[in-house]
Structure 1
Amino acid sequence: MASSNENLEEKRPLFGNRILTNNDNVFQHNAWDNVQWNDEQQKLAEKKVAENSVISVTEDQLEKYEKDADKYWDEFYGIHQNRFFKDRHWLFTEFPELAPDTVKYHSNSDAGDTASDSKASRNNDDHENCTTKELKIFEIGCGVGNTIIPILMYNINPNLFVYGCDFSSTAIEILKEHKEYDTSRCKAFVLDATQSEWNPPFENESLDIILLIFVLSSIHPDKHKHVIQQVYRYLKPGGLLLFRDYGRYDMAQLRFKKGRCLSDNFYARGDGTRAYFFTQDEIRNLFIESNFEEELNIVDRRLQVNRGRQLTMYRVWIQAKYRKPLK
């Protein structure tokens, strides 16, 4: 059963409303929204990035990171299986478009809602009130399903179908073994989103929503534009792209050691996987240059708190929504 603190944390509204006004209260919650940095914090972050941005890898190493990217992620999922990332139950708070008028969702899901509960919810009396509109969702870089599984669990639209791709075959195999993976409602497949031509199980301009959730950062910056152009190709006119990823000066960027930088703001972790850290303008330019219309582009600066260990961690994420124009 969730504690009162957990329930308070999970029931928070869209970020931006939990503001820390008194530092003495910092450990009252698990996270604080829209944390503003002072000049000293900003300069310290810039200094740390300057220090860890010295590029010392060879051309051969750079080529290996790119060539073997799928192998590094296969090894990652082979080791961690589905235990490393938590299911993203916060999706319906930040992106309510994923379950419009169809969601049987309790905000304490992270504290213990079960798959059996979700199946029951799809068969209760609320089912007759859900929309019958077809909804096709596609996640690029779905991993082991930390986004797809919550959508399948809580979106009760009988005409929902979710696609997911990843270039790690190991991740796709793990996803297909999940008890919530239902071939009548979803299809996961192996695809390298950076390859020049895709061969997905759907047609051009056939998708309502495409998700890029902490995946574009793992791709070489030179290939970002190609991925966005493919997104545009497969979205319906009026379709929506939902984006969330690492922002510049996020804690993860500041923690990189010297020798891990591959190019500006692009790093290799110790396990060979990579991460890029975006600015709002970079994301805006990527999408606008590919003819998208901007609906949202914000920086989510959040102070996360480990109340047990009395630690604070500054996170910076970019959250955005872009729409393909109607013809």
Structure 2
Amino acid sequence: MGLSKGSDSAHSSTEPQETGTEAALPTKRLRKPRIVLEGSIEDILARNNSPADPAYVDKLSARAGKSWHDFYKNHAATPFFKDRHWTDREWPELARLDENAQAGQDGDDDVPVARKGQGKAVLEVGCGTGAFIYPLLERYPSARFVAFDFAKKAVELTQSHVSHDPSHCHVFQHDLTAPIDDLRNKLDNAPPSFGTPIHSFDIISCVFVLSALPPEKQARAVETLVSLLALGGSLLFRDYALHDAAQLRFHSLPSASYAANPSLLSERFYRRGDNTFTFFFTPEDIETYIASAVAAINVDRSARGEADIEVEGKVEVVEREMQNRAEGWGCTRRFVHGSWRRMR
């Protein structure tokens, strides 16, 4: 199988498109050489597998905010970002946004407060351009949406979206790995037209977000997400899976810059050509994070004399065959996909 080589990045988008067919390059443009992924997975991963110096990794981590800001700035004027109209197909849980909001009491962090004309509460983390929330707002106009991103430019793009409505959308800049109290303070600072601030959510979306975080920060991020689930709320998850074609490409023929600064930062953790990060998961990774998050949350709740929470769900690897019939190449994309519901 082969992938077109556009740069030393693993792919040319923040996420793969769900069309199943890649568009052919314009005939007037010179086609760049393809990297052909030949051999077994083990053979491919054995190539170019010397990790970068830890000091270099630390430097990249310190600049992560700027790297993501630059990413969105560089692509803002191009037809690069696409709304996620496929989410209802992948997560039946989203159909619950049609239901009437469940009324709670002021100060009850486990159940969102419903007000007249306001529906269920949705949180999109790593919102990018609002690709998750705005198609849902069109289909479920009674819902209220909170969205945040690490990159300042991403927040600006989400707020400037034609569908942005401050009475239904609270959008702000935030680092998912920061202490939970920082996030709660920002949730409180909602626009007046948004109504009562939301502290727990019926739907939480974490789609191609966790992989952008350094491995040592991923557990904290998942704990934050689980802690924000309302009773009956669902956490929706999708990200890159181990042995995805994008990972294998990192181990193919390196670009000139790769020789000086390897893309492999640590096991399953990589630097893209624009200095943003990506990680490749197994279902067991995510199951462990969810279980650890629930355990940590219940320790804190027990100390406050509160009942334990419980979540149920599953995670699996799904595969999508991507093809470019015009150029005669294809590849297998692999994603870790799952959802969990808070039962009590």
Class of the TM-score when normalised by the shorter of the 2 chains: 0.7 to 0.9
Contact 2:226–2:290 (8 Å) recurs in 1: no
State the one-letter code of the partner of 2:151: S
Task: Note the C-alpha offset of 1:294.
Answer: 3.7
Q: Which amino acid aligns with 1:235?
A: L
Q: State yes or no: 1:174 paired with 2:174.
A: no
1: CA distance, partners of 2:40 / 2:312: 32
2:306 is aligned to none
Q: Could you tell me which residue of structure 1 aligns to residue 206 of structure 2? A: 212
Taking the aligned partners of 2:290 and 2:48, their CA distance within structure 1 comes to 29
Q: 2:285 is matched with which residue: 275, 282, 287?
A: 282
Deviations 1:203-255, CA, capped at 9 Å, x for gaps: 78521111100000000111111011111222113321100000001111111
The gaps in structure 1 that reach 5 residues or longer are 1-28, 32-40, 104-131
Residue 153 of structure 1: CA displacement? 2.0
Correspondence 1:198-209 to 2 at 5 A = 198-199=182-183, 200-201=186-187, 206-209=200-203
The structural deviation recorded for 1:162 is 0.8
Q: Is the 8 A contact 2:314 2:339 kept in 1?
A: yes
Amino acid of the structure 2 residue aligned with 1:168: A
Q: Distance in 1 between matches of 2:42 and 2:242?
A: 10
Equivalent pair of 1:244/1:318 in contact (CA under 8 Å): yes
**Which range moved further: 241-250 or 294-303?**
294-303
1:245 & 1:42 partners in 2: Cα distance? Answer: 25
Matches within 5 A, 1:116-127: none
Q: 1:210 to 1:30 in 2, by over 3 A?
A: same
Q: Which runs of 5+ in 2 are unaligned?
A: 1-19, 23-36, 100-116, 189-196, 295-309
SS in 2 for 1:315: strand
1:96-111 to 2 correspondence within 5 Å? 96-100=92-96, 102=98
User: How big is the shift at 1:293?
Assistant: 2.9
State the identity %: 33
Question: Of the candidates 244, 249, 259, which is equivalent to residue 255 of structure 1?
Answer: 249
Contact 1:204 1:234 in 2 (8 A): no
SS for the counterpart of 2:40 is helix
Match of 2:301 in 1: none
3-state SS of paired residue (2:46): helix
CA contact (8 A) 2:97 2:119 kept: no
Q: CA deviation at 1:65?
A: 1.2
Which of 296, 313, 316 aligns to 2:314? It is 296
Return the letter of the residue paired with 1:179: V
CA distance 1:296–1:195, shift in 2 (3 Å): same
Q: Is it true that 1:306 corresponds to 2:324 in the alignment?
A: yes
TM-score (norm 1): 0.73
Match of 1:137 in 2: 122
The answer to whether the 8 A contact 1:142-1:164 is kept is yes
d(CA) in 2 for partners of 1:233 and 1:174? 28
Maintained 8 Å contact 2:312/2:342: no
Q: C-alpha distance in 2, partners of 1:267/1:223?
A: 15
Alpha-carbon distance in structure 2 between the residues aligned to 1:180 and 1:278? 33
Q: Residues 205 and 171 of structure 1: is their aligned pair in 2 closer, same or farther, counting only changes over 3 Å? A: closer
Partners of 1:311 and 1:135 lie apart in 2 by 43
Is the aligned partner of 1:184 residue 2:170?
A: no
Report deviation, 1:43.
Answer: 7.2
Partner of 2:193: none
Q: Secondary structure at the match of 1:271?
A: coil
Task: Report the CA distance between 1:146 and its aligned residue.
Answer: 1.3
- Give the Å deviation of 1:136: 0.4
Residue 206 of structure 1 aligns to which amino acid in structure 2? S
CA distance in 1, matches of 2:171, 2:81: 18
Partner SS state of residue 230, structure 2: strand
**Could you tell me how far 1:144 is from its partner in structure 2?**
1.1
- 1:309 deviates by 2.5
- 2:157 matched to 1:154? no
Contact 2:45 2:248 in 1 (8 A): yes
Secondary structure of 1:290's counterpart equals helix
Q: Determine the structure 2 residue equivalent to 1:114.
A: none
Q: Distance in 1 between matches of 2:340 and 2:332?
A: 26
